[in-house]
Structure 1
Amino acid sequence: MTDYEWKTNVVEMIFSLSNRLQAIGDELDEKTTVKQRLFITGVSRFKEAPTLGELAKVLGCSRQNTKRMSVDLEKMGFVAISKDSNDARALRIGLTQKCAEHFEQLGDWASGSLDTIFTGFDDDLAHSVYKGLLRLAHNTDLLTKANGTAIPEAGS
């Protein structure tokens, strides 16, 4: 296999796995999608409720898409949107008790699914895959900057 072919195969596999994981994840919960759960996970990683901009940067999507997802999840009762106490223009996203209770119920099933996905992975392999994905994310950020596109950096 040539250098170009294996690189193409890796990118194709990432897209394929992404689609498959999304389909599996969407079946997990009839109330929320995988993207909504990733959004909620993103919010939960902050010590204090993040602003839309902070959250957009972590999620790697636009502020507009972050706001749209926030509004949808607020209607479902999973997040609360509030104005920042220091900057009335900034909106903060916090998780609700309803959200915590809902995701506590999903915990065991989600944990079991992750265990299945990572069957056969020892710590070294899992760490290597993670490091490789971090490098791909970093290089994608470099490409984004070089092309001048407006997609925020992942993992910043």
Structure 2
Amino acid sequence: MTYEEMGTTLQWKKNLLFAGIFIQENLLHTVFDRYNTMSCKQWLLMSVLKAFDTPPDLSAAAKAMGCSRQNVKQLARPLEKDGYITLERSAEDARSLCISYTDKGRQFSRENTARGRFVHDAVFREFSEDEIENYFALSVKMMHGIRHLEEAFQKEMEEKE
């Protein structure tokens, strides 16, 4: 049975869309990790670093990636060992570690721009421009929905206390 055949009711479609987020993530990780020397999450961290004008600390990188500071540190350690980044104490806060590209990391980042286009072209090959625009708008709404879910969980926990 295909996904299209399963989606017969609105509730079933919601279930499939929700599960699909996790399934798609797992498939993307599996395919990406099979054909690259760097894990998908490490690649994401390297890409996220480009968004900062100055080396971010672990907390800022974690916020940008939507994960924990500890998760970023676990991703960063092998990248540091392989010479792509350095982890250094912040000049402003000695308790904070900042992530900086090394020369090897900057070179990877430059070369990775073409790789990113290759990945995006493959993933979005079956999408029209309008579908990409719609998917983007829907993804923004999903991000808001995730924030609403967190607020609902927090409220639920507060009510239990």
**TM-score category of the 2 structures, normalised to the smaller one:** 0.7 to 0.9
| Contact 1:44/1:95 (<8 A) preserved | no
RMSD of aligned alpha carbons: 1.9
| Partner residue, 2:93 | 87
- Bigger share in helix: 2
Q: Distance in 1 between matches of 2:113 and 2:59?
A: 28
Does residue 57 of structure 2 align to residue 56 of structure 1?
Answer: no
Deviates more, 1:104-113 or 1:138-147: 104-113
Q: Distance in 1 between matches of 2:57 and 2:112?
A: 26
Q: Distance in 1 between matches of 2:48 and 2:114?
A: 20
Runs of 4+ in 1 over 6 A off after TM superposition: none
- Kindly state the Cα deviation for residue 103 of structure 1 after the two structures are TM-superposed: 4.5
| Partner residue, 1:152 | none
Equivalent positions of 1:33-112 (< 5 A) are: 33-112=39-118
Which has the higher Rg, Structure 1 or Structure 2?
2
Structure 2 spans left out of the alignment, 5+ residues: 1-7, 156-161
Q: Relative contact order (C-alpha < 8 Å, sep 6+): which is higher?
A: 1
- TM-score by length of structure 1 reads 0.84
Residue identity opposite 2:12 in structure 1 = E
Deviations 1:103-153 (CA, angstroms, capped at 9, x unpaired): 44455444223212212323221011011112112211221132139xxxx
Does the residue aligned with 1:81 lie in a helix, a strand or coil? strand
Identity percentage of aligned residues: 27
Does residue 35 of structure 2 align to residue 28 of structure 1?
Answer: yes
Deviates more, 1:101-110 or 1:138-147: 101-110
